[in-house]
Amino acid sequence: MIMLKLLPIAALLASVVHAAPAFELQTSEHPAIASIERYAVQTPSKENINYNGQFISVFPKGFGFAPGSGLALKKMDKDGTLYFWATGDRGPNADAPKVLEGEKKREAKIFLAPDYAPRFAEIKVTRKQSADVISSKPFLIDGELASGLPLPKGTVGSTGEVALTDGLKTLNANTRGIDPEGIVADKNGKLWVVDEYGPFLMHVDAASGKVLKQLAPGAGLPEVLKHRQPNRGFEAVAVTPNGKVYAMLQSTLNIDGETKSTAQFIRLVEFDPSTGATRMLAYPLDVDAYKKTGDAKIGDLVAIDNTRFALIEQGKGKDKKLRNVLYVIDIAGADNLVAIDGKEPEFASKDALANVKMIRKQRVLDLRELGWTAEKAEGLALFENGIAVMNDNDFGLKSELASGKDVDDLLIKDGQLPDGDRLVVAPSAETTDLWLLNLKQPLKNYFPK
């Protein structure tokens, strides 16, 4: 376990001891952050995911469980010990070239543990000591283990993605496929979990992992959500004190294949469990920061009160640098999204959207200013006088072609790559880290005016 003691930021930055680059920002003058506690999340070996495939020599102990796809505070003890709910995603998978089926090119992923059942966990943070996964449970759908494999083509929530073995053979899809990306508890102790496939909003019994209710586009959720980009469904979920549930898409919708790169906003869905009513609000992206708006992603979302939230907006900017920006947003007064000139507002120009009241936002900080190096900040939670942030390390693996070509440069045909090339899966250096950002001033000081 690697942890930084509670220090002023200037001292902290001089003390980073694992894979943190040098940087020059004088964070002792940072207006928001007083100090940072940095933990490498420890997961017991019993949580490892078994693997017996062709890359077993580099993964002899299987894959470590990666719980960094979503984070929510469960409780805080009087001594400051923190307990969080966290969720892993669909399991150990890696990028692959597209699969050629006839004349159609289909997105593909390698699933190195196709029998893996997605699961959620509880993490205990003993301050100034460690962050440890102390338990985990798989999700159960209709009494059976959920799967991380994609849904069959043509079913509600299907991405149309091809699942492959590490030998590039096609795997069967699974009707219980989910890709969990956000988690939060309601006042009754039940969990709300969102996924990237459907997108689905699931009500889950925390004691058993049983999915009590699964809402989908056209089945409890607005049908327009079916236009989410592949693997860019719901990424974040929050519950406000009044009991309403807010699920947020990861990226722009791609309606009729036309809007993912030009839409000016990402949708936030409000769901009232007491009535089943929904409405959708527009979160305005930092449009000018990206080469195209489809590059923007939401990391996670957490409620501050009934109308205000903290969230992470991230992605590669047009300057080719990664950004992981923390905002406070306020939905009070935001319009329920409706058609503009007979079309969904994703088609509208910036000028045409001028009369739509969007969610208001106020920047707090960019995590990269504090030394954050992970690509994905996908867990966000609040605790007394602080913010918890966690990354998704994709189960500690990465893929590449032996030729050095980009995976997008080749196609898989009949289970083979051209010219004798081969796909190699190797460990990545990225760990699952949890940062506790201790605040100088409360987040209410950043409420949008």
Using DSSP bridges, classify how beta strands 234-239 and 93-95 pair: parallel, antiparallel or unpaired.
unpaired
pLDDT at 13: 38
SS3 sequence, 296-321? CEEEEEEECCCCEEEEEEEEECCCCC
Q: Strand runs (DSSP E) across 142-277, as ranges? A: 144-145, 162-164, 180-185, 191-195, 201-204, 211-217, 220-221, 234-239, 245-249, 265-271
In this structure, the chain runs to a length of 449
Angle, CA of 250, 34 and 323, to the nearest 5°: 30
- Is residue 331 within 8 Å of 358, Cβ to Cβ? no
pLDDT digits (tens, 9 = 90+) for 98-153: 999 998 999 999 999 999 999 999 999 999 999 999 999 999 999 999 999 999 99
CB 351 within 8 A of CB 385: no
Query: Measuring CA to CA, how many Å separate 150 from each of 146, 177, 216, 327?
Result: 11, 5, 15, 32
The type of residue at 4 is L
Q: What is the pLDDT at residue 11? A: 38
Residues whose CB is less than 8 angstroms from the CB of residue 60 and which lie 6 or more positions away in sequence, other chains included: none
Amino acid at 322: L
pLDDT at 1: 34
Check residue 30 and give its pLDDT.
84
Output the pLDDT for position 173: 96
- Do residues 235 and 200 touch, judged by C-beta distance below 8 A? no
- What pLDDT tens digit does each residue of the chain (449 aa) get? 333 333 333 333 333 333 333 233 335 678 899 999 999 999 999 999 999 999 999 999 999 999 999 999 999 999 999 999 999 999 999 999 999 999 899 999 999 999 999 999 999 999 999 999 999 999 999 999 999 999 999 999 998 899 999 999 999 999 999 999 999 999 999 999 999 999 999 999 999 999 999 999 999 999 999 999 988 999 999 999 999 999 999 999 999 999 999 999 999 999 999 999 999 999 999 999 999 999 999 999 999 999 999 999 999 999 999 999 999 999 999 999 999 999 999 999 999 999 999 999 999 999 999 999 999 999 999 999 999 999 999 999 999 999 999 999 999 999 999 988 999 999 998 999 999 999 999 999 999 98
- Mapped onto helix, strand or coil, the DSSP state of residue 35 is strand
For residue 28, what pLDDT is reported?
Answer: 61
- The C-alpha atoms of residue 138 and residue 114 are separated, in whole angstroms, by 14
User: How far apart (Å, rounded) are the C-alpha atoms in residues 370 and 36?
Assistant: 9
pLDDT at residue number 448 = 96
Query: What contacts 72, CB < 8 A, 6 or more positions away?
Result: 84, 85, 86, 183, 184, 185, 302, 381
